[in-house]
Amino acid sequence: MTLKLEIVTPEEKIYSGEGLVEIRADAVSVLTDMALESEKIDIAAAEAAVERAKAAMKEDHTSEEVAAIQASLQKALAQLHVKRRRHG
């Protein structure tokens, strides 16, 4: 799930992962597992993380390690998706 929030100005956006949103008359609260400002995403670092995770998935791991590797892969892929969607 991607949640797009407009903060202060229409140009400032934050993309988040799964979570909860509470909307009140005077405020909106977001509890999420990940929030990203596209300007702060390092494409080279995210691409390197994807490659590391893909290489690690080819090795034998415990179920806990596999879950951690998959989470890292998903986070890196989400960062790339946000950056490429925002900047083409």
19-28 pLDDT, tens per residue?
Answer: 888 888 877 7
Average pLDDT rounded to a whole number, residues 41-64: 95
Q: 78 or 13: which carries more pLDDT confidence?
A: 78
pTM for the predicted model, two decimal places: 0.66
Q: What pLDDT shows up at residue 35? A: 77
Measuring CA to CA, how many Å separate 6 from each of 11, 15, 32?
8, 10, 16
Percent pLDDT > 70 in the chain is: 80
- How many folded domains does the chain comprise? 1
Asked if 34 and 41 touch (Cβ cutoff 8 Å), the reply is no
**Residue of 66 and 11 predicted with greater confidence:** 66
47: containing domain: 3-87
